[in-house]
Structures are given as structure tokens and as C-alpha cells.
Chain A
Amino acid sequence: MTETFSTLVKELQAIVGEKNATDDRAICTSYSRDQHWHFVPAKNPACVVRPGTKEEVRSVLMLANTHKIPVIPYSTGINVRGLTIPVHDGSILLDLSRMNRIVEINPEMKTATVEPGVTFGMLLEQTRKHKLRPAFPDAPLTVSVLVNYYLRGIYQTSATDGHDHTISYEMILPNGETLKTGSRALSEMPYFRYGVGPDFAGMFGAHPGTCGVVTELTAKLYRLYDNRKEYFIGFDDVGTPTEFIYNLMHDELAASIRLVDNQSWLEGIFGTFDYAYDKLPKFVVCVLVEGVDGIFDAKDKLVRKYMHESGGQILELPAEFAQTFEDESLGGAEKSCMVFGLPGKGNYHCIGLYGPLTQAAKYYEVHEKTALEVGIPKDHIHFYIDPIYSFHGQLCYFELDVFYDGSDSGFGEKLRNYNEKQFHRLLELGIYGWFRPYAGIIEPTAERIGYLAEVWKKFLRVLDPNEIMNRGKLF
């Protein structure tokens, strides 16, 4: 560590307290790698800082900006795409996990306002008292609510929740200014996304790095209903169930609709490794219906009608599977993480993308084709669809999964080859966008977006002229 940097660590300690900033090698190493390490190489930050307040965040950012030091915001520490792994030497890792206050739960407004360290589990514990819940990603319920929403919607486990859960937020910029989006800018009421002028909440989200540090975010909450019913319908291919999914989405009938293959996510949805999954049809559509009394009955009746017309096999399964599916869909993913326990395949690689349901079979076809081409065995190829209300554009989240043994460096190489081919093939085939604009996937994409890339670059330069906000991920 250079003497200059040592001095800087002392300055950081003066801001956040001695115990909350360190350049200790071992401590920094613990932040050096996420599970995406075959694709984003490990790199230590030069120091880790753990602010406890907005003012501390502001002071750290201003100091970093003065010295032109890259800053990587980090919330609860669960990342799967290298988003918090430093690109440059001498970076500050800004660990925001101490900022874990639920600022407000407003049942009347159906909103929650949270700090970055609040996890989905923490939030649900409080919101369920009001029969409300957040929209959940199919990610461990240890992940940050704020970051998942801010990074661009989520592929929620409940289709009815739609795509955008962010209402407004406040962000501290590298120059120390606080920027408030939506109605927050005008009043103490942070409950409306579209305040004065452009939709800045959208403009600041979904960058490969960030534009600043979001310190507080107001999000939508959704109702928890007492009436629920689950169905599981098996299919032998991806194409056949699309009409069934379309009908459910078009008529807005089901809370959760998830098409998964029988060898990966289904194990988590059912909550057990100990079941003869290979005896089930290759793809299973899991459907959860909910609602208030009369509406629930009507929905359920229609769902059953479409189910019988679907051409699929209605599966009779143990009752506890339905309960786990319900818990995971409306209460956050825990057992779903059993995909990390698939024998010999516990590591996770996926390309997550948004596209229309009409392309489902093609996405699966190209996934399988490319994977086989680069030597990935067939039994490592998995697939996942979550349709999203209100279904304009037949919007779905698709996940092209490969579960593998991360300690096998040869497999890592195959996956890198897979990515190189697949990113281009999917762009050629036509997608709406990537799930996350992470390193590796965003570069070939930026080449295709014309003048938007120039504007994007200029936009970032205005907000962050010294390029401290982890910019190396893209421009």
C-alpha cells in the first residue's frame, strides 16, 4: 500500500470511524470474488469502507472524487455477475450493509422505503403484518431490496407484480449533491415515480457501474391474499405450453407462472432433492392462483379450464411441494437455492434476458445448440421462463442456465466460449434487453445501439466527470 493510500485510509477512518474502514489485505480479499469468477476475475479492492449514514456516504464520495478513486457500492454481498468486483487498482469498496433501516412501511400507500442493507427477508418480516409483501426476485432472500429494484426491475417470482417496483429514490452523486427522483424532488411524499421532468429513476438505473450511491428507495408493495391454489402441468417441450401461458397472462389469472425444466429449479420449487424428477415430463409449468373470495373462485375455474385444454399432463404431487412453491413465490427464495446443490453442478451460470413469449422455443433451441457446440453436456443445460404482467409485448424473463462444477476450470473455459457465441446469437435472434448490464454482456450490446451509446457515455460524464463510479464495466 502506498503512503498516499495509507493517508487516505486514515481520512476514511476519520469519516466512518476507525473500525469501519480498513485496507487490511485479508479483509479486502473477502470482497475480491463472487460466483461469477470464471468470467470476471478476482480483484481486491484497496480498502473497504462501511458507512452508517448518508452523510458518511457523501463524505466518502467527495473524498474519492477529489482523489479520482474508483468507488464500488456493495449492499448485502450477494452478487452473481461480478457487479461489485473492482475493475481498477486502488478502488474503494463501499460496503453499505450497515445502512439497513426500513425507513417506512406505508400500508395505505402500499409502499416501503428502505436503505441499501435491507434484505427481502427483513422487509417481508415487517410488511406481512399488514398483509403486504415486496416483489421477490428468484434470488436468495438475503439480497438487497434496494439494489435489486434499482439495477432494473427484477424477474419476480410473482408475475402479477409487473416489472417496475421502484417508485422513487435518492442518490448521492460523486460531487456530494443529493439527487431525488419523482415526487421526492418536490415534497416529502415519495410515492409517485413521475414527478417533475424526465423519468430520472429510470435513467439512473441499469448501468454496468452506477451513477452514484442510492441511499434510500421507495418501492411498491403487493397484497398477500388468503386464498391460494397451486397447479403443476408437465410438457415435453417448450413450445406447447406457450399457448397455455399466453391464456393465463392474457386473462390475468395467475399470480405466479413459471416454466422450469425438471432437473434444476424444480428441485428448489419443490424443496427436496429426494424425488424422481426424471420421471416427470421434461418441462413443468408451475401455476399459483390467488385472490379475494369471489374473484379467486372465478380465476381458479378459468385456470383449470385452460389447464385441461393445454395438452399438458396435470401432475399429482405431494402437498408439501405446493406449500414450498407458495413460500418461494410469495415469500422469497430460500429452498430455490437448492439449485446450488445439484450434484456435481452446484455452480450457476446463466444468461438472463427479456423477450417475448413468442420466441420461447427459439431461445431454448439456440441455448441448447450453442451449449452442445462448445461441449457442454446435455444434462447441464437448463431453462426457465417467468412471464410478466401486464404482458404488453408478451414480456417474459428468460434464463438460459448451465449448472456446473466451478472447480472444473475446463468447464469454465467452455462457458466463456458459450458466452462469446451466445451473446451475439441472441442479439441476432432478437431480444428486448439483458436482465443485467454486466461486464462481458454489455460490450457487444453497446456496439449495436447506435447514437444511444454516445448519449449514454455523455450522460455518465456529466454525472461523474472523474469516472469514479466503477465505470470500467463499460465505457
Chain B
Amino acid sequence: MEQEREEEILSAIHHCVKCKLCSIASFHPNAKWLPLCPSGQYYGYQAFYAPGKMEIFRAILEGEITEPSKGLLNSVYACTVCGACYEKCKQITNVELGAPELFEEMRHELASRGWSLDVHKSIAELIKETKNAYGEKYEYKVETTDQNADVIYYIGCTARYRVPEIADAMLEIFDKLGLKYQVMGEEWCCGSVLFRTGQVEAAKELVAHNVEEIRNSGAKTVVFTCPGCMKTFEKDYPDMGVELVHSTQFLTRLGNINLKKEDLKAAYHDPCHLGRDLGIYEEPRVVLSEVADIKTMKREKEQAWCCGSGGGVKSAFDDFALWSATERLKEAKEAGADALVSACPFCKRNLKEAAENEELEVYDVVELVNRCLEG
């Protein structure tokens, strides 16, 4: 790490006074004690809360920690990098370096020393081989693509291979509305999982490929149903001169599309990448309110509880991921919802898995829109 950057990071770490207010949602509005940090809440040791992780990073940079112990790897990687701690911190301080940025830098530093989890290294290998994060060798077929369309729908690995109902719904919406779109001839993983787990070098080939494909497509707009992909394009890709929009933004712009509202009480779960990272809070709610009655959960928007699957957690710490999701399901039920609706394939996958034995439906917002849209 360059010395100037190291000094910047150490300065930010030194400014943490370890008040731990970052671990709870704003208290005074409701006088409710609501935890915000899934990792700290689940594992308990100080190392799993933001102040403890910062202390570990300091010790690494200052040469006190020279080996990758199990506790080191667990505390660093059993964090969804959801950014809730940073959102809380910046309400009361002028913190100069956000915790997610700091923790991703920490992972990059660890990866550069070869201190990655084996499961994350395996994902990098799978991506290298198959160009998708799940190592799948079959293609998700899209027949109605129009290679002259101005809009590209970037599907993403999870909607292609794990929750295809989201990709199916989005494509049906395009078709029902008679909108022209294209999908990439050869869509590669966006690299999100590599960036989020510190394996930055391994993502470069993916970025180069996707950038070239999009530039060659002539499209002006890229639509995402996956906020993780969209965040990666926003943050880690060069400017391609195209507009990047989330499905809910895209749908909102269309105006009245004659949706038939269902008799459904739905809580909206803010995906971390969509909300805290990209600042998109309103459009999903606008779209959802067209198809269901929204029930508000106690922790939402900037202070939403993470579903538990991001940052490489789902692949490495599935028990923790499912516990986090279960906590969110409880909150949705307390709010009086019949369904928990997200706007992210990764959230849906984890929440759905946790809800296997629950009387609570889990959807992505585009699924409901598709269901309520006259064909």
C-alpha cells in the first residue's frame, strides 16, 4: 500500500473513538434499541464490530499482526460490508473515510498478502473459468433480444443462475410493454464478488470485457435488476458514456403502466447496494406502492438491517447469512406484512432461503410488477 494512502487510513482509524453508536439505529426518534451491525450482533466479540475491525487493520498496517489467524479471517470476512455503521457514524461525525471503503481496502490488503478465504479463492477460479460466479456452464437463454435497442438489460450471475424468476420477470415486463432491449451477447460476471472480497486484480479482465461489449453494443442505457452489479459498474468501472439505471428507476420513469394493485401487505427491504451505496430509496417504494400496500419496518433506508448475504458472506458463512435474513423476516412480520419485497436478486435468494418454513412470501419488486401488469 502506498504510504500516503496508509497514512490516510490510519488517520481515519485514529479518529474512531469507539463509541459504538454505529452498532445501533438512531435511538431518539423511537426510543428503540435496534441493532444495526449483523456481524457484531451475531459473533459478539469486539473484533466483529466496526471499531474492533479498524483496530485490527491498524495492527496489520503497523506490523503487529503478521499471520492470517482464523479469527482475523473470520472478523474481516464475516462482514457483509453493508455500510450501516458508516451511515450512522456520518450522522454524528465528519468521518472522512467510510467504513465500507476502509473494510474493502482492508480485504484488498489481506488478499495482496494471500490472506483470502479458500472459498473466495475458489469463486475467483470459477469466474476465471466460466465467467460467472457460480461456475455454471449453461447459458441463460434470451430469445427476444434486439441488438439495435438503446437499452441493455445486464442480468447478472445471480438472476441468471440462482433466481431466474427475477430475470424472467424483467424480460416479460419489457415484452409486455413492447419495449425494445438487448442483452449482452456474452455477459460476463461484473466482478462484484471479487471487488468486495479484495481480489481486485482478478476482476480486471471482467471489467475490460464488459466495457468493450457495452461500448460495442451502441446502447445508451444499462438496466440492472442487481444493485450489486450496478454498484460495481458505478464504482469500479470506467465511465462508458452510458446511463446506469436500476429496474425500479427504469419503471418509475415509464409513468403509469396500468398496474393492477394486489391485496398484499408488503414490507420493503432496502438492499444495501441499492440504498446505502447508490442512494436509491424512493423509486422502489414508488413502484411497490403501485402493486401492494407498504408496511414500514422499524429499520429502513439508511438504517436498514442488511439481509446478510453480501460481501462474500453467503458463500463463506451461510449460517450467519441465514440468521441475518431471519432477523429481517421477523421485522417484516412485526410490521404486519404478508410479504417481504426486495429489489436485489442476492437479497431475495437469502431471504427466500431463510423463509423456507415461514408464512411470509419473498419477492423481488419486478416479480410483483410483472404479475400486476396486463399482458
A interface vs B, CB < 8 Å?
A: 20, 22, 24-27, 29-35, 48, 50, 76-80, 95, 97-98, 119, 121-122, 124-125, 128, 140-142, 268, 273, 327, 331-332, 334-335, 337-338, 340-343, 346-348, 405-407
Contact = CB atoms under 8 A, between A and B. Distances in A.
Contact of B46 (A95, A121, A327): A95
Interface string B1-33: 000000000110011111111011011100111
25 contacts: A22-B45, A25-B69, A26-B56, A26-B69, A27-B71, A29-B56, A30-B46, A30-B55, A32-B55, A76-B20, A78-B18, A95-B44, A98-B44, A125-B32, A141-B27, A142-B24, A331-B31, A332-B27, A334-B21, A340-B17, A341-B94, A346-B15, A407-B10, A407-B14, A407-B15
Contacts of B23: 142
Interface of B: 10-11, 14-21, 23-24, 26-28, 31-33, 44-47, 49, 51-53, 55-56, 58-59, 64-65, 67, 69-72, 75, 92-95
B111 to A, nearest CB: 16
B299 to A, nearest CB: 14
Given A125-B33, A332-B27, A343-B94, A26 B75 contact: yes
A56 to B, nearest CB: 14
Contacts of B69: 24-26
A43 B92 CA distance: 29
Contacts of A331: 27-28, 31
A348 B16 CA distance: 10
Contact of A30 (B17, B24, B45, B70): B45
A97 B47 CA distance: 13
B55 A77 contact: no
Nearest to B71: A24
Contacts of B75: 26-27, 30
Given A26-B65, A273-B94, A347 B15 contact: yes
Given A29-B64, A125-B31, A407-B10, A142 B94 contact: no
Nearest to B88: A334
A35 B18 contact: yes
B231 to A, nearest CB: 26
A438 B82 CA distance: 36
Given A25-B72, A141-B27, A341-B94, 10 more contacts: A24-B69, A25-B67, A29-B59, A30-B75, A48-B46, A76-B20, A95-B46, A142-B23, A334-B92, A346-B94
Contacts of A31: 46, 52
Nearest to A268: B92
A268 B27 CA distance: 15
A406 B31 contact: no
B21 A327 contact: no
Contacts of B31: 124-125, 128, 331
B334 to A, nearest CB: 15
User: Most B CB atoms within 10 A — which of A26, A122, A124?
Assistant: A26
Contacts of B44: 20, 50, 95, 97-98
Given A30-B45, A77-B46, A341-B94, A406 B15 contact: yes
B197 to A, nearest CB: 17
B56 A30 contact: yes
A142 B20 contact: yes
A29 B17 contact: no
